[in-house]
Amino acid sequence: MPNVWFETVAEAQRRAEKRLPPSVYSALRAGSERGQTLQDNLDAFTELGFAPHVAGLHAKRDLSTTVMGQQIALPVLISPTGVQAVHPDGELAVGRAAASRGTAIGLSSFGSKPVEEVVAVNPKTFFQLYWSGSKEQIAARIQRAQRAGAVGIIVTLDWSFSHGRDWGSPTIPDKLDLRTLLRMGPEGLRHPRWLKTWVRSGGLPLLTVPNMALPGDAAPTFFGAYGEWMQTAPPSWEDLAWLRAQWDGPLMLKGVMRVDDARRAVDAGFTCLSVSNHGGNNLDGTPAPIRALPAIAEAVGDQIEIVLDGGIRRGSDVVKALALGARAVMIGRAYLWGLAANGQAGVENVLDVLRSGIDSALLGLGKASVGDLNLDDVLIPEGFVRHLGMPATRR
Ligand SMILES: Cc1cc2nc3c(=O)[nH]c(=O)nc-3n(C[C@H](O)[C@H](O)[C@H](O)COP(=O)(O)O)c2cc1C
């Protein structure tokens, strides 16, 4: 019996690449244009160093914290990803893994499983919305999430429909009918373990987005829903104030990179923001979120909860983000690689890898808890921090 446990996220990624058909793997790798932001999200973490102690270290470290009103056992949340066809259990496997490791899941409105089923396996579920369709439709999706028992809403606004990738985009069919199956058959046949998992589950990926359905309607296809979203005029800050009035629970604005936007998010009544560039999938050339975090944390960190997502691949990355002002991080591709590699156990494996990396870094830095981390723990090279959305003299 081969050892299915992996010791790094890099190994999970290697296994995912081997296991998944190239078009599915490529959809997870994602990125946009020349991939500059995608790369910077990873590189920026390598520019930061640590300042460890040698004595007076703590025998026990506390990794727990709270985000959006939820107690979590480690400062890592599942970021919403609208991804299909990775594994038949999809977000249910991810939700169960997060619950078993004591953390929360952000469920994408473009995900493959209904919010009701995900809340049933993980009550710490935040439902993620895009600004898509009419206000009535948006309000109906919020009400549905609320009825299902979601404990927070994430609104993601950093998407500019920038599709071209220098390394090519995967062909994603609208649905898997016989014709598409015949065309894509060789890909599946060359990845028999992926195919077997789907066949065993009783079918092939549906490629529908059940959380975009309005009451009584069938789930639209991914591309059907994407088309609606593309045709929707983007929201103003007044629209976001309207949104705030539809939901009185914890509300996160995901995708903030600028200090001025962070301030407006506070004014609009958001309780949390994610410093994020959509994992390098939005405007290429946007710097890594970790570079924008310190200025945003300095400006609004005492008024709103701040999380960061983008480029987290190891526990030490999490610790760097916390030292620079985040309360927690969200992970995207890391758990998708784990899901592809080994289903629910693979996602648990990724969370365990991150937990143990956070714990080691806390030990070395002489910290008793994640809440004790601060700028003194990290070596920040000159010019690292970006002050987006501040007067030119302060950039
Ligand atoms: C394949 C893929 C699909 C994504 N889908 C969504 C989505 O539906 N909603 C959303 O808010 N963010 C989405 N994201 C962005 C993630 O939530 C997160 O911001 C990003 O993956 C973080 O970067 P990382 O992958 O380096 O951890 C997606 C990211 C990827 C890679």
Q: Which pLDDT belongs to residue 84?
A: 85
325 or 85, higher pLDDT: 325
What confidence tens digit (pLDDT) does each residue in 188-235 have? 789 999 989 998 998 888 899 999 998 889 999 999 999 999 999 999
Would you say 279 and 41 are in contact if contact means Cβ atoms under 8 Å apart?
yes
Of 56, 86, 73, which is closest to residue 197 (Cα–Cα)?
A: 86
What confidence tens digit (pLDDT) does each residue in 299-309 have? 999 999 999 99
Position 141, amino acid = R
Domain 9-394 has CATH 3.20.20.70: yes
Residue 1 has pLDDT above 60, yes or no: no
What confidence tens digit (pLDDT) does each residue in 27-51 have? 999 999 999 999 999 999 999 999 9
Q: How far is the CA of 335 from the centre of ligand 1 (A)?
A: 11
Q: How far is the CA of 29 from the centre of ligand 1 (A)?
A: 10
Which class for 146: exposed (0-12), middle (13-18), buried (19 or more C-beta within 10 A)? middle
Show the beta-strand stretches assigned E in the chain: 49-50, 65-67, 70-72, 76-78, 105-108, 125-129, 152-156, 251-256, 272-275, 305-309, 328-331, 378-379
Q: Which residue has tokens 């990355």?
A: 317
Q: Which pLDDT belongs to residue 391?
A: 82
The reply to whether ligand 1 has any atom less than 6 angstroms from the CB of 333 is yes
Classify residue 190 by its DSSP letter. Answer: T
The reply to whether ligand 1 has any atom less than 6 angstroms from the CB of 110 is yes
What confidence tens digit (pLDDT) does each residue in 164-195 have? 999 999 887 877 776 776 677 778 789 999 98
User: What is the chain's mean pLDDT, rounded?
Assistant: 95
Q: Which residue has tokens 């200025």?
A: 295
Kindly give the number of the ligand 1 atom that is closest to the alpha carbon of 79.
17
Residue 393 has pLDDT above 70, yes or no: no
**Do strands 70-72 and 65-67 pair parallel, antiparallel, or not at all (unpaired)?**
antiparallel
Mutate to test the pocket of ligand 1, among 46, 79, 320 (most ligand atoms within 8 A of CB): 79
163 is catalytic: no
What confidence tens digit (pLDDT) does each residue in 312-364 have? 999 999 999 999 999 999 999 999 999 999 999 999 999 999 999 999 999 99
pTM, to two decimals: 0.97
What confidence tens digit (pLDDT) does each residue in 146-163 have? 999 999 999 999 999 987
Q: Where do the domains of the chain lie?
A: 9-394
Q: How far apart are CA 63 and CA 85, in angstroms?
A: 33
Kindly give the number of the ligand 1 atom that is closest to the alpha carbon of 310.
23
